[in-house]
Structure 1
Amino acid sequence: MSITTTRCRNRSNERCQEVSVMFSRFGRLIVLNPWKVIAVWLVLLVGSFLAPRLADQVSNDQASFLPSSYESVQAQELAERAFSQGNGASATIVIKRVDTQPLTEGDAARVGELAQALNTAGIERVTSAATGPQAVSPNKQVQLVSIVLSGSPADPKLNDTIVSVRDKTSSMLKGSELSYAVTGDGAFLLDNQEAFDNALLVVSIVTLVLVVGLLLVIYRSPVAALLPVVVVGVVSAVSGAAVALVVRAFGMQVDPSLATILTVVLYGVGTDYIVFLLFRYRERLRAGDSPKDALTAAVSRVGEVIASAAAAIVIAFGALLLALFGGFRSLGPGLAIGVIVMAIAAVTLVPAIVSLIGPKVFWPSKSWQRAPRGSIFQRLGTFTGRRPALVALASGGVLAVLALGVFGLKIDYDQIGQLPKGTESARGLEDIKLGFPAGALNPTTVYVRSDGGQPLDPAALDRFAQSLAQVSGVGSLMPGPTGAPATISPDGTTARINLLLTTSSYSNTALDVAGDDLRRVAHAETPPGTTALVGGVSSLFADIRHANNRDLWVIFPVAGALIAVILGLLLRSLVAPVYLMLAVGLGFVATLGATVLAFQGIGDKQGLSFNLPIILYLFVVAIGTDYNILMIARLREEARAGNDPRTAAALGILHGGPSVAAAGLILAGTFASMLFAQVSFLTEMGFAVSAGIVLSAFIMSLFLVPAVTALLGHTAWWPGHGDRGRPDSVSTEPSSASQVEPVTTPAG
């Protein structure tokens, strides 16, 4: 029989077999028509170059990712209407002496000339540049030039503006004893974008080297090593164009990290799927199948696994659509589209290419012609089959111990700290601390609006401002241009009061002040007939923190439940999905605990990036489930062949272990490339996801899941009992029970 899938002779079993039959027919269609399949992908590739670029859809404005119901967003909208700069970016030039001595009167005059030159230079988007005695720090170590920029921070043209300001400042201060650094919102966004662009380049190069190098070690074949590079390159172009089209069609905002994360996901997941397919193809060649039949069988067997694994990832990423914070919501569809395109390519483009190459895909190695004897996976499988209780206890214990680290978890919202230390923005922030409070660069602003359109009372505003200054955590009032604490809009109906907090604007303490204590006092003490809104960076990230906490409680259970449904449909069981998801949940907590130990324990970080837990959860749960699906499907296959639960566990590790280990090693390596990104969040994500994949592949899927399945035996497949062999079916899979030693000894 040329096709290896089992066919039903009894109509009652037909539903159980229809998926396998479908993938068998689909696989043969692809294998027999490779050029047509490749032609379709070439058309898609050419079309991708005509589509919008994903990079053009990126937004760096965190406020644009929050719903308008949040107070910080309403404050920005009010500022835009009243002062025409609510969402406008800003820049600040921080100037000090090279010799670290106090600034002289001559230095102050030179800085004044700089501000005047910027006002008359005609730099696009520069509304004004101001300095003066009030901009000199009390200890005379630092003087500031405040620049107001027109337009949204997300406007890419502001990048050119910041570059022009830096060039003009450099030329004006050349030859003086003064040094400078242009920082502030506008400069921060420019440096942030450059950091992510550099990270994308570094990550792409390192990922490419790692994937090719690891595949060369695994297959000892340059053809097999380069296959994922070609396929992922095509998929990256096609999926990037697809994501850009969807984003543009629905008017969505895209987080700047999407392009970098998508690249790593496609290389990691794509290589995993290709490894799954090539391992099964090699297995069937060793069993004596012809190349075409072996490839058809591989697509038939692995196709369902890839489809289920991709569905789990897509559902997990799709759950991000439930997020309030748009930064998460924008990642979901983009990553889901990329995984869908990659899964389609894995069962179409990859088999088409391999169909043309044949066994030469493993050239020049000859190892594909013979199965290894006495391999490490054979020994591991035999040991697990003999002592499943011990293996389950040991593997679960490792995860439980690492999970203890999660009790020390702290969340960090410091976006400035994400930048590499060498950027000009970061240097400016350090310089400003020489003479001003930590919150001086990003004052927290309280806006007061007249409810009935009547003019505001300046005396009442002064009293209100003094009450705000008494709030714990507020350092001082920042006077407006007239010297008064409140600046009133031209129509007299809106005022703004700038407050300097005692801590960094991004610290949790500042977020507590702006998002809680200050708002409570502002709302309670506002003058009669007016409404107060607290805005600014600290208020914005207080709202982002609230949205993030809400999203964690909503997305986690929804994604987990939906993945469990996928597992239930695949396995036709209610028991197996429960312990599989419990294992994945334990793996997630263990990964987060290990990351806390690495960065907050061994490292000196104050906390983990606020968006790391949710991204980590989705990657570890979704991608970790890939390996569980591959292993549990193999365990079911071995059980259906008539093996007892312990022998099935031994055989599952023997045959499924190499592909799980290889895929896990490659995927962990691709995410580890983010360690070279020099962006704090990407570095944390690279370590965390790599650790999570290692734990998922080498502890959870390779040991914990087979051991628990062996212990539960027939109960694991209740109520569908998909482990039962079918006497009315014919299987052409070779018997593999002889490849492991008998495992009938009691567990202990």
Structure 2
Amino acid sequence: MQTTQPTHTTAPRKPEGPEEPGRATGRRRALPWTVIAVWVLVLLAAVPFAGKLGDVKRDTAVDYLPASADSTQVAKDQAALPGGDTTDLVLVYRRDGGLTAADREAAAAQVARVVDRHATVQGRAPRAIPSRDGSTVMYPVALTGLTDETERADAVKDVRAELADHPKGLSVQVGGQGALRADSQEVFASTDGTLMFATVGVVAVLLILTYRSPLLWLVPLVVVGAAAMASMAVVYGLVQGFDLVVTSMSSSIMTVLVFGAGTDYALLLVSRYREELRRHRLPYDAMRAAVRGCGPAVLASCGTVAAGLLCLLAADLNSSSGLGPVGAVGVVCALAAMLTLLPAVLVLLGRRVFWPLIPAYGSEPRARRGLFAAMGSSAGRRPGTVLVAGGALLGALALGILNLPGDLKQADTFTERPESVVAMQTLADAYPESSSQPISVLARSERAGDVLDRAGGTKGVERAERGRSGGGWTEIDVYAKAPPQSAGERDTIHALRDGLHRIQGADAHVGGASAQELDLEDTNSRDRAVVVPLVLLAVLLILAALLRSLVAPLVLVVAVVAVWGAAMGLGGLFFEPVFGFAGIDPGLPLLSFVFLVALGVDYGIFLMHRMREESLRGADVAEAAVTALRTTGGVIASAGLVLAATFAVLGSLPLVMLAEMGFVVAVGVLLDTFLVRTYLVTSASLLLGRWVWWPGALSRRPAAPGAVAPRRAVPADRG
């Protein structure tokens, strides 16, 4: 096949600008050192605050609930009652074949000791509730006076330790919402270190394979580490100054974003810097040209991710709205480090940082026909066929959404079953006819009697008991006849809300664990309807400003939305059949959409921005598209692998919601990198021709004389 050189030359160019040699040399030497000195000062100030971020994380129920929901108001009001937010436990005693008299005596004695050592709700003694088959007895226990999640988790550990000594053959488990929260707290506490080490290890391996240099891989890794430290300090400052809610989930995702996005920016900059070193004698001049060349694309990339994340501020779900600014801070810090600190370090290290593949001044890269030139050639021969076939493949994958499991229940939130989950299953088996966890009702004390009577008479309610009172509010525990988180219990919650909200002056609110999950589902549906259009609009505006076009942004956005659908479809094929996940987190569709649209557009930005550069130099769309694919294909493939791998690290954490998030985003990034950007976006650009730049000036520019049609020639792969 005939090959044609790109329309622009790669011959060495003189450094730009009329600077005097002495002044220019002084600036070249001083500026990198100045930048590094500034970053050293920033890090010295940031490290103490970054270390405090873990102390201000909030993982209470309220922090993961909708701001305006009924159940959220209950959780807030419970914290204001005497004793604060209760730690509801269920002590479960079971012996296969039936409990003996000695078992019951031992259980009663242990529960009495627990009551003596811990504060209970207004001194109320726990009541033994035996199962009908006589195999199990449960004791609901409510601990009060515990001020934070760490203290509650320690109390649960103490209770479990006190129950460790029991008759042989008698199983003793601590369940209930308090135990579940304590187990969640323990899991979250272990995620930071695990996630950080795993992410660093994955990124290091991929950088070594990409650069094939004993030194170069370390530079971006150190710089992205500095960005991570700075982002944690900034987020801590936002918590102190603006009471920003930071959860363990948002902190984990910020870490992934900093390493994933930061490494992507580094790969693009280093690749362009390597090109420019062949054209410029001095590393300073080469870096200045590299930053000018890829800077707009990197800025637009960061802008789309940050804007997409900030759209989450419109979400009603507290954990989603808090994630927006936390994630945005991470990608902005990554951008700042990669456009300032990384260039400074690379300039000071000089060309030898690329050893053994040092790009010599005036040299030409080895001409070869590479993978991405071949991909461009195949897309160019039959762009229509490629586009239709690729679209059909994505559509077929998206059908897997029909196989997605239902919403994730609390008992299924862990990849491994802790004691609290085992206890919930034991209770469900032993008490199939009733609920073991209360539905919490808060009402004005002056109308508490009416609320208690109405709640007790509501269809589906087994019993209702008056709880604590204080500050003008009274807590009522309502037990449904149906098992927890069943359709019957949901009907009971709806019936309670319909009836109790009608009592004038009661201001009754219905909450508890099951009511919270019901509100989560409703709120996530509302948030998707609000946030998704905002994300699409924000991304389209940024792309239109960068590419001076409306058609090209639409092509990119449609492509990444199709990728999201295909990735969710693959989730339907893998989550339950392969991974054994019993449900999906209600927030997964929205958060995965935000990440895949914002991050997926990045690679389209890198490709289309380079394609626009080639078009401005006189190439027609066909030649510009294939040249852009050839020159950016390798680095974007590396960036896609890094980003996918960093999100895949979330799968190593013992939480189903993070494992699902990591899978969907990682798969989506790979689809976007190796299918959509490489074939579909290129094919669509070839079919549209110069109309891809409409209504910009490039759409009105005639093809350059002697332009090569995509079916007959492909530029030589010079990467």
Question: What's the TM-score bracket when you normalise by the shorter of the two chains?
Answer: 0.7 to 0.9
Q: Which residue of 1 aligns with 2:371?
A: 376
Please tell me whether the aligned partners of residues 515 and 543 of structure 1 are also in contact (alpha carbons under 8 angstroms): no
Distance 1:180 1:327 in 2: 34
Q: Where do residues 620-631 of structure 1 align in structure 2 (5 Å cutoff)?
A: 620-631=596-607
Shift of 1:386: 3.2
Aligned partner of 1:168 among 162, 173, 182: 162
Moved more, 617-626 or 391-400: 391-400
The structure-2 alpha-carbon separation of the partners of 1:419 and 1:389, relative to structure 1 and needing over 3 Å to count, comes to: same
Distance 1:573 1:560 in 2: 16
Q: Which residue of 1 aligns with 2:545?
A: 569
Shift of 1:5: 10
Q: Where do residues 200-599 of structure 1 align in structure 2 (5 Å cutoff)?
A: 200-287=192-279, 290-365=282-357, 370-437=365-432, 440-447=435-442, 449=444, 453=446, 456=449, 461-462=452-453, 464-468=454-458, 470=459, 474=460, 477-478=462-463, 480=465, 494=474, 496-505=476-485, 509=487, 512-513=490-491, 516-523=494-501, 530=506, 532-599=508-575
Shift of 1:71: 2.1
Q: What number of residue pairs does the alignment pair up? A: 692
* Structure 2 runs not aligned, ≥5 long: 1-10, 18-23
Shift of 1:275: 0.5
SS of the counterpart of 2:248? coil
Please tell me whether the aligned partners of residues 325 and 547 of structure 1 are also in contact (alpha carbons under 8 angstroms): yes
Distance 2:707 2:280 in 1: 14
SS of the counterpart of 1:50? helix
Moved more, 101-110 or 604-613: 604-613
Distance 2:366 2:707 in 1: 11
Question: Which amino acid in the other structure matches residue 513 of structure 1?
Answer: D
Shift of 1:678: 2.1
The structure-2 alpha-carbon separation of the partners of 1:164 and 1:124, relative to structure 1 and needing over 3 Å to count, comes to: farther
Distance 1:716 1:396 in 2: 19
The structure-2 alpha-carbon separation of the partners of 1:695 and 1:641, relative to structure 1 and needing over 3 Å to count, comes to: same
Distance 2:707 2:55 in 1: 54
Q: For residues 67-125 of structure 1, what are the alpha-carbon distances to aligned partners after superposition, in whole Å with 9 as ceiling and x for unaligned?
A: 664322334455566x636732222222223xx2311121111111112212223x579
Distance 1:376 1:286 in 2: 23
Q: Which residue of 2 aligns with 1:697?
A: 673
User: Normalized against structure 2, the TM-score is what?
Assistant: 0.88
Please tell me whether the aligned partners of residues 255 and 330 of structure 2 are also in contact (alpha carbons under 8 angstroms): no
Distance 1:652 1:366 in 2: 23
User: Normalized against structure 1, the TM-score is what?
Assistant: 0.85
Distance 1:556 1:743 in 2: 39
Q: Which residue of 1 aligns with 2:73?
A: 74
Q: Which residue of 2 aligns with 1:58?
A: 57
Please tell me whether the aligned partners of residues 235 and 345 of structure 1 are also in contact (alpha carbons under 8 angstroms): yes
Distance 1:49 1:68 in 2: 33
The structure-2 alpha-carbon separation of the partners of 1:501 and 1:688, relative to structure 1 and needing over 3 Å to count, comes to: farther
Distance 2:528 2:546 in 1: 27
SS of the counterpart of 2:90? strand
Q: Which residue of 2 aligns with 1:137?
A: 131
Moved more, 64-73 or 557-566: 64-73
Q: Where do residues 7-156 of structure 1 align in structure 2 (5 Å cutoff)?
A: 33-51=31-49, 53-66=52-65, 69-76=68-75, 84=82, 87-97=85-95, 100-121=96-117, 123=118, 130-132=125-127, 134-151=128-145, 154-156=148-150
Please tell me whether the aligned partners of residues 639 and 723 of structure 1 are also in contact (alpha carbons under 8 angstroms): no
Shift of 1:130: 4.2
The structure-2 alpha-carbon separation of the partners of 1:76 and 1:684, relative to structure 1 and needing over 3 Å to count, comes to: closer
Distance 2:264 2:237 in 1: 27
Shift of 1:569: 0.6
Shift of 1:279: 1.1
Distance 1:575 1:294 in 2: 33
Shift of 1:45: 1.1
CA RMSD in angstroms comes to 3.4
Distance 1:62 1:158 in 2: 13
Q: For residues 446-489 of structure 1, what are the alpha-carbon distances to aligned partners after superposition, in whole Å with 9 as ceiling and x for unaligned?
A: 45546xx36836xx955x34531x3xxx3x51464xxxxx5685
Shift of 1:638: 1.4
SS of the counterpart of 1:502? coil
Question: Which amino acid in the other structure matches residue 531 of structure 2?
Answer: I
Distance 1:126 1:519 in 2: 25
Q: Which residue of 1 aligns with 2:6?
A: none
Distance 2:488 2:582 in 1: 14
Distance 1:61 1:439 in 2: 27
Distance 1:153 1:415 in 2: 23
Q: Return structure 1 stretches of 4+ with deviation > 6 angstroms.
A: 1-7, 28-31, 124-127, 490-493, 723-727, 735-741
Identical-residue share of aligned pairs (%): 31
The structure-2 alpha-carbon separation of the partners of 1:295 and 1:555, relative to structure 1 and needing over 3 Å to count, comes to: same
Distance 1:520 1:318 in 2: 35
SS of the counterpart of 1:33? helix
Distance 2:147 2:383 in 1: 57
Question: Which amino acid in the other structure matches residue 643 of structure 2?
Answer: L
Moved more, 383-392 or 320-329: 383-392
Please tell me whether the aligned partners of residues 415 and 656 of structure 2 are also in contact (alpha carbons under 8 angstroms): yes
Shift of 1:301: 1.0
SS of the counterpart of 1:445? strand
Moved more, 246-255 or 35-44: 246-255
The structure-2 alpha-carbon separation of the partners of 1:466 and 1:231, relative to structure 1 and needing over 3 Å to count, comes to: same
Shift of 1:521: 4.2
* Structure 1 runs not aligned, ≥5 long: 8-25, 481-485, 728-734
Distance 1:158 1:380 in 2: 58
The structure-2 alpha-carbon separation of the partners of 1:153 and 1:644, relative to structure 1 and needing over 3 Å to count, comes to: farther
Shift of 1:145: 3.1
Distance 1:584 1:560 in 2: 10
Please tell me whether the aligned partners of residues 66 and 520 of structure 2 are also in contact (alpha carbons under 8 angstroms): no
The structure-2 alpha-carbon separation of the partners of 1:216 and 1:138, relative to structure 1 and needing over 3 Å to count, comes to: same
Q: For residues 24-75 of structure 1, what are the alpha-carbon distances to aligned partners after superposition, in whole Å with 9 as ceiling and x for unaligned?
A: xx9x978862111111111111111222622122222233454664322334
